[in-house]
Chain A
Amino acid sequence: MKKAVHYLNQFFGQIGGENQADIAPQLHEGHVGPGMLLHQKLAPVAEVTHTVICGDNFIGSKTDEAIEQVLTELETIEFDIFIAGPAFLAGRYGLACGALGKAVQERFRVPVIASMNEENPAVEMYAHELYIFSGGANAAAMRKDVKKVADFSKRMLQADKLRPAAEEGYFSRGKRLEAFDGSNRTGAERAVEMLLKKLNDEPFHTEMPMPVPAKVAIAPAVEKMEEATIALVSSGGIVPKGNPDHIQSASATKWGKYEVDALYELEAGSWETIHGGFDPSAANQDPNVIVPLDAMRELEQEAKLGSIHPYIYSTVGTGTTQAEAARMGTEIAKDLQRANVSAVILTST
């Protein structure tokens, strides 16, 4: 029989209400509270062998400490799956399920299944990381929500074929997998069918949903260019020859920061592009066509700008997911802000 660990907050863990929300994490053997229902529903595939309980405020305010304590406790036991909640519409509880679930998944490489109401703020934060099932707004939905989670967990533990998020009932993780749709119709047939529906104003479902673009707040303009420090950032894969940081040529997850303070331009032979999405010959012949350091130096000498930030930043933008791109962008922006950079020229290929 497979082993499941269940996470509950202090309330569902039957310790107490708001007055107990500061309790530190604890590991119990067996199931607690709604864990009994989960235990029953998981049978005969799995059993709830342990329950982790933590106060919502404790994990909310001392998140790292709480997670580390739980991970240390979990090191002492064996388990195959981690199930958190249901957390319904409870915000702190949902965030606890998400943060802890993500940490458990990373440390122990086991599937993590949670359940929350779609309005729970943790859904937006963790839906891409975990399987979060769409649940009710409060504990009245307990039976229904626990059953959904248990059914899916059982199938996952038995390595059954899993269906797309919308069919299974969890929030989209933003992952695309190639699969046959079971109809035996080719892509061309399905595309024509979709097009006809569209032309007839009938409802249809795309097979390739695109991420909804986020609106980015507009930053105020630079006031005086002759006093500004400008940084050069690029997704065109320009790196020192040999690619010291091993940035991937496609689907990049890394970015690099390279000193150019003493350089008047990016010389061919010393710099190259490792971008795998276009013919690199032009950029390798003259890397300034992607990162225009030479033009910027001239403008700097002509006092048309204050100074050039001593480092350039680089990654590869092909096959890179929006989530990874957003993370790297945030990290680079933080570094630039720490250095008091006034503005950025971003070049993309």
Chain B
Amino acid sequence: MPVVQLANLVSIAKTVGANRIVPAVAIPYPLGDMNKSAEEQKSLRKQRVEVAMQALLTTIEEATIFEVKK
């Protein structure tokens, strides 16, 4: 059962043994952005979740950070 971790503190996620990691936006709102409208935040959120799903579909050999395209 693969797990993908969406985390702002990527280095900590890696240190504690997470194998599939997707960088998040910020500590208090990993999948939001207080400078954006609700609609923009939702589309940003969906985009990150899609990267996370792609990470779950990817066969990896070592702990991997999946970059998010801006």
Interface size on B, residues (CB 8 A): 41
Q: Indicate whether B53 reaches chain A with its CB closer than 8 angstroms.
A: yes
Q: Are B1 and A290 closer than 8 Å at their CB atoms?
A: no
Q: Are B30 and A219 closer than 8 Å at their CB atoms?
A: no
CB contacts (< 8 Å) of B46 on chain A: these are 292, 295, 298-299
With A and B bound together, what is the CA distance between A337 and B1 in angstroms? 8
With A and B bound together, what is the CA distance between A294 and B29 in angstroms? 15
Q: Indicate whether B31 reaches chain A with its CB closer than 8 angstroms.
A: yes
Interface positions of A from 208 to 228, Cβ below 8 Å from B? 213-216, 218-223, 225, 228
Interface positions of B from 5 to 63, Cβ below 8 Å from A? 5-9, 13, 15-19, 24, 27-32, 34, 38, 41-42, 45-46, 48-50, 52-53, 56-63
Q: Are A220 and B59 closer than 8 Å at their CB atoms?
A: yes
Interface positions of A from 82 to 141, Cβ below 8 Å from B? none
Q: List 13 A-B contacts (CB under 8 A).
A: A213-B15, A216-B18, A228-B56, A281-B28, A286-B38, A288-B31, A288-B32, A292-B46, A295-B42, A299-B49, A333-B1, A345-B53, A349-B27
Which residues of A line the B interface, CB within 8 A? 213-216, 218-223, 225, 228, 230, 233, 236, 277-283, 286, 288-290, 292, 294-296, 298-299, 304-305, 322, 325, 333, 336-337, 341-349
Task: Given contact pairs A299-B50, A304-B50, A345-B53, enumerate 18 new A-B contacts (beta carbons under 8 Å).
Answer: A219-B1, A219-B19, A225-B57, A230-B56, A280-B28, A286-B32, A289-B30, A289-B32, A333-B1, A341-B1, A343-B1, A343-B3, A344-B4, A346-B3, A348-B7, A348-B13, A349-B28, A349-B30
Which residues of B line the A interface, CB within 8 A? 1-9, 13, 15-19, 24, 27-32, 34, 38, 41-42, 45-46, 48-50, 52-53, 56-63
